[in-house]
């Protein structure tokens, strides 16, 4: 079974513990698929997600919105210790940029 318009975020990584590749889906963190190849891990997790979405639709549950389909404002608040705030403010002043620009550059690395 394939999921129509599958925009979910998938990742395939090696599991040293299981000695296999594991397929994961960010929007469904409790799901995974283990297999011998990275291609098989991706195919397997996509199949599991499609089955779960189908079951959720049948039972009237809310389906997670794919991260790729969400709109982001570009704004979010980060709380840091006062000393870190001071240190960053000094770095920004020394670089001749705003604290916002400095933080954005550090986060974009």
Query: In this structure, is residue 78 part of a structural domain?
Result: yes
Per-residue burial over 54-66, b if 16 or more Cβ lie within 10 Å, else e, is eeeeeeeeeebee
If one counts the domains in the chain, the total is 2
Query: In this structure, is residue 4 part of a structural domain?
Result: no
Could you tell me which residues come within 8 angstroms of residue 101 by beta carbon, excluding any fewer than 6 positions away? 92
The pLDDT assigned to 1 comes to 67
pTM: 0.73
Could you tell me the mean pLDDT of each successive run of 10 residues in the chain, 109 residues long? 88 98 97 98 98 97 95 92 95 94 91
Say if residue 33 is in the same domain as residue 49: yes
The pLDDT assigned to 47 comes to 97
**Structural domain that includes position 100:** 72-107
């Amino acid at each position: 079974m394939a999921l129509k318009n599958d925009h979910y975020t998938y990742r395939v990584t090696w599991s040293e513990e299981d000695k296999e590749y594991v397929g994961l889906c960010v929007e469904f963190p409790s799901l995974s698929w283990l297999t011998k190849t990275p291609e098989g891990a991706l195919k397997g997790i996509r199949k599991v997600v499609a089955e779960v979405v189908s079951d959720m639709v049948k039972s009237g549950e809310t389906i997670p919105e794919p991260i790729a389909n969400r709109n982001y404002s570009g704004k979010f608040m980060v709380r840091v210790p006062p000393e870190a705030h001071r240190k960053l403010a000094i770095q920004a002043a020394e670089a001749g940029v705003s604290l916002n620009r400095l933080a954005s550059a550090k986060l974009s690395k």
